């Protein structure tokens, strides 16, 4: 390369080709070829058959059927007996030619158009009420135009908790995005099938649910990138004593994070939120009936079950129908519209939650039940014998 550059420079200065050849100790033909070339010289290896060549067509046929087939499996199928490293290198070279192409479009998110929804699982177990620890999901909703982040830890991935969390985060945003984008979460829906209660929720909000097809990560990339950011920016150096403590710390951190400038938009999410909300839908004018709901007849064991946990109820309601409702924080039981049990919702599994007042009421009712019923007898058990005479028509005169 250096000789080629020197030859061309000397030739440009007017040095004769013979003088250049003599000076550099090369032939004049080489000098002429360098002066007349359009590009620098490069070494090109002449292709020749290798040990892989006899197997190439069979390998291509297998990759045509399954482009992701492991190289070790391919080697076994074609009876390869040579170096597996050399075989892997050749399969790696051929594999891109047989993969189907999936272009990724540049998406433009208009104000108010969509919000991306996802579940993030923090890589740290959270202590629960019974002393156990568990990995709990965090529901995250991010309006796509402003990149404004909202999130809350929820007890389960079930539909009831997903809808409760979604409504709480939408209220934090202040208005309803025209589309809510989900990635086939079973509690929301898959394909064309929606989970029970989801269509009514979307209809009340007047928004559209979009369930992404498989292998379409770009359509929900905004919220997934933020999930990764949470793990690298929020989680390090933190400890949590309960889900409530996690939510408090996370909400405080999001307040600061939403004030940071986003590289792609050159603006902070909080500064773009008003423009995003201006094109969103208003919150529904009617209250939403969300959460866990069930009607049961209270048995002698005066407990009702909700999500694997048992909660005590006023024993005076035994044998009557009661309505069990729960949100993310409280569990309430009503009879004829009157609250007969009110508990803090427990996130641990398989727990029994008892109100001491209910135990005292049960003891009183049990004592009353075990007492014998009083027998009411007449004070005077004697009877006038004349009553029998009169009953049979016998009087003193007849006798």
- pLDDT on residue 157: 94
3-state secondary structure of 36: helix
How large is the C-alpha radius of gyration of the chain? 40
How far does Cα 323 stand from its chain's mean position? Answer: 29
- pLDDT on residue 399: 45
Express each pLDDT in 252-287 by its tens digit. Answer: 999 999 999 999 899 999 999 999 999 999 999 888
Euclidean distance between CA atoms 21 and 30, whole angstroms: 8
Euclidean distance between CA atoms 21 and 340, whole angstroms: 107
Q: If the chain, 399 residues long, is cut into consecutive pieces of 10 residues, what is the mean pLDDT of each piece?
A: 82 86 86 82 76 93 93 95 94 92 82 95 94 95 96 96 96 96 92 90 94 81 93 95 96 96 94 96 90 94 95 95 95 95 95 96 92 67 69 61
182: part of which helix (H) or strand (E)? Answer: strand 179-182
Euclidean distance between CA atoms 114 and 93, whole angstroms: 40
Euclidean distance between CA atoms 74 and 60, whole angstroms: 10
3-state secondary structure of 11: helix
* Strand bridging mode 309-312 / 338-344: unpaired
Express each pLDDT in 222-251 by its tens digit. Answer: 999 999 999 999 999 999 999 999 999 999
Record the tokens describing residue 270, joined without a space.
């909080």
Euclidean distance between CA atoms 276 and 147, whole angstroms: 9
């Amino acid at each position: 390369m250096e000789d080629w550059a020197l030859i061309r420079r000397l030739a440009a200065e007017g040095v004769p080709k013979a003088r250049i050849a003599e000076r550099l100790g090369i032939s004049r033909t080489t000098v002429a070829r360098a002066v007349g070339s359009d590009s620098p010289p490069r070494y090109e290896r002449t292709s020749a058959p290798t040990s892989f060549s006899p197997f190439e067509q069979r390998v291509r046929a297998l990759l045509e059927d399954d482009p992701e087939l492991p190289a070790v499996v391919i080697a076994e199928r074609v009876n390869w007996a040579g170096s597996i490293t050399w075989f892997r290198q050749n399969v790696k070279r051929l594999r891109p030619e047989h993969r189907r192409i999936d272009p990724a479009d540049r998406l433009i998110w208009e104000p108010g158009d969509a919000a991306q929804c996802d579940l993030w699982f923090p890589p740290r177990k959270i202590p629960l009420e019974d002393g156990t620890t568990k990995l709990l999901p965090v529901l995250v909703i991010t309006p796509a135009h402003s990149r404004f982040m909202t999130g809350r830890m929820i007890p389960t991935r079930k539909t009831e908790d997903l809808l409760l969390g979604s409504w709480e985060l939408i209220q934090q945003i202040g208005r309803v995005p025209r589309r809510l984008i989900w990635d086939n979460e079973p509690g929301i829906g898959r394909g064309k099938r929606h989970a029970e209660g989801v269509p009514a929720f979307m209809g009340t909000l007047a928004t559209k649910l979009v369930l992404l097809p498989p292998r379409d990560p770009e359509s929900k990339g905004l919220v997934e990138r933020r999930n990764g950011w949470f793990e690298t920016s929020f989680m390090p150096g933190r400890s949590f004593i309960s889900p409530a403590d996690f939510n408090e710390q996370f909400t405080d951190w999001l307040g600061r994070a939403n004030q940071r400038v986003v590289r792609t938009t050159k603006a902070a999410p909080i500064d773009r939120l008003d423009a995003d909300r201006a094109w969103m839908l208003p919150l529904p004018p009617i209250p939403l009936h969300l959460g866990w709901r069930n009607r049961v007849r209270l048995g002698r064991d005066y407990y009702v079950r909700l999500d694997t946990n048992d909660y005590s109820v006023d024993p005076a309601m035994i044998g009557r129908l009661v309505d069990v409702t729960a949100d993310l924080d409280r569990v309430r039981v009503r009879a004829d519209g009157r609250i007969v049990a009110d508990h803090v919702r427990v996130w641990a599994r398989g727990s029994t939650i008892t109100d001491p007042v209910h135990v005292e009421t049960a003891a009183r009712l049990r004592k009353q039940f075990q007492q014998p019923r009083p027998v009411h007898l007449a004070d005077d058990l004697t009877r006038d014998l004349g009553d029998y005479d009169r009953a049979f028509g016998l009087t003193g005169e007849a006798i």
